[in-house]
Structures are given as C-alpha cells and as structure tokens.
Copies of this chain bind each other. A is one copy, B any other.
Amino acid sequence: MKLVPTQDNIILKQVDAEKTTASGIVLPDSAKEKPVMAEVIAVGPGYTAEGKEVKMEVKPGDRVLYTQYAGTKAKLDGVEYIIVSMGDIKAIVEE
C-alpha cells in the first residue's frame, strides 16, 4: 500500500533525529517558522488547487528542508508521513 500525491503535494518521511545530528543539521528552537529535514518519498504531478502548473523541483530520495508548520500527517503501515506542497520546501540538502 502506498500514497500517491495529487497536485503539487509531496509525501515526506521525517529523517530521524540521530541521523540528522550526524549529518550536521541542527535546527534552532528559537526560529519562528522552523524548517525541518525530511526525505522525499513521492512527488505529485505539479498542479496547484487553482489549476496552475508548478515545477516539482525535488525527487524521491532527496533530503529537503521544509516549513515545519506546513503539511498534514498520516500513518501508513506504521510509518508516519507528512504531506506538504512544493511551496513548503525551501532547500535540498546535498551531501
């Protein structure tokens, strides 16, 4: 069973905290709108709710920083996913 995102939605899986620290990203608590690191699981076709096209700039496997308060959560087969739209992703984290 899998989630296939619609429109410009992107399915993310939060990267676990230990891994995050190891890779050197520390997200400050004080930031008003904190970006959070996650792995891209699936990417929608790129249409907004108003019918416009958006370039989907990420692909499955990418590590990304996204706006924490954006998105909705769903648990599937015991794994928790976050669904955000393209505009909630701020940067790709490259090794």
Measured CB to CB, the residues of A under 8 A from B are 1-7, 9, 11, 23-28, 31-35, 42, 44-45, 47-55, 57-58, 64-65, 67, 69, 72-78, 80, 83, 85-87, 89-95
Task: Indicate how many identical chains form the complex.
Answer: 7
CB-CB under 8 A for A4 and B92, given A47-B55, A54-B47: yes
Neighbour of A27 across the interface among B3, B42, B74, CB < 8 A: B74
Given contacts A1-B23, A24-B1, A86-B49, contact A72 B76 (CB under 8 A): no
* Separation of A35 and B38 alpha carbons in the complex (Å): 19
A86 closest partner in B (C-beta): B49
Once A76-B24, A78-B24 are accepted as A-B contacts, the answer to whether A94 and B4 lie under 8 Å apart by CB is: yes
CB distance from A36 to the nearest CB of B (A): 9
Apart from the given pairs A27-B75, A76-B93, 13 other A-B contacts in the complex at a CB distance below 8 Å: A1-B93, A2-B93, A3-B91, A3-B92, A5-B90, A6-B58, A11-B91, A28-B75, A31-B72, A32-B69, A34-B73, A42-B91, A51-B53
